[in-house]
Amino acid sequence: MYSEEDLIYRCLQNEGRAQEEFYKRFAPKMYGVCLRFAKNQMEADDILQDGFIKVFTNLKTYRGEGSLEGWVRRTIVNTAINLYKKNAKYLRDIEIEKAEVVQNTEEGALDKITVQELLALIRELPTGYRMVFNLNVIEGYTHKEISQLLNISENTSKSQLSRARQTLQKKLKDIKGSQR
């Protein structure tokens, strides 16, 4: 079990064992991130794989400012964004048609809902909605940052987030209805 500093040093020396430990240390949490951004498990696997290769390739740029986990997470998120941008031109038109606007929300107990169920709901979102929702709500990016990252306007980011929320609320309502 290496210390974080030692682990980084050994990974920079391209030591296979250290890289494996690095991977095992961060992969479970990052896989959770990937599953949120991906539309299915196969895509999540790809994001995780590509993301960790970038992590190992660019580890020399990590300056120790901020936590290592945060840095790895940003790399994984950026990988997901790049994949989205690569496929964006094929997805955008479809997403608008799929968008549903739900005005009313129903309050109720959501404590019992599982992560897997929430994950399934996120995956059902159109890709653009999913990206904006993940980046803004969970990763904490501002609309301005999201607009720069995804090459969209701030208003688009805001409207997509709003629609994502509405869609999720509707789906949650359906789940609650079926549970009664």
The residue count for binding other proteins (CB under 8 A) is: 57
Q: Which stretch binds other proteins (CB under 8 A): 1-9, 27-35, 88-96, 124-132?
A: 27-35
- 27 binds other proteins, rule: CB under 8 A: yes
- 103 binds other proteins, rule: CB under 8 A: no
Q: Candidates 8, 36, 68, 127: give the one binding other proteins (CB under 8 A).
A: 36
Distance CA 107, CA 113 (A): 14
Distance CA 165, CA 6 (A): 43
| String of DSSP letters for 50-101 | HHHHHHHHHGGG--SSS-HHHHHHHHHHHHHHHHHHHHHHHHHHHHHHH---
Q: Candidates 17, 174, 177, 179: give the one binding other proteins (CB under 8 A).
A: 17
Distance CA 169, CA 165 (A): 6
- The CB density around residue 51, as the number of other CB atoms within 10 Å, is 27
Question: Could you list the residues that contact other proteins (CB under 8 A)?
Answer: 13-17, 19-20, 23, 27-29, 31-32, 35-36, 45, 48-50, 52-54, 56-58, 61, 63, 65-66, 71, 74-75, 78, 82, 105, 107-111, 113, 115, 118, 122, 133, 137-138, 141-142, 144-145, 148-149, 165, 168-169, 172
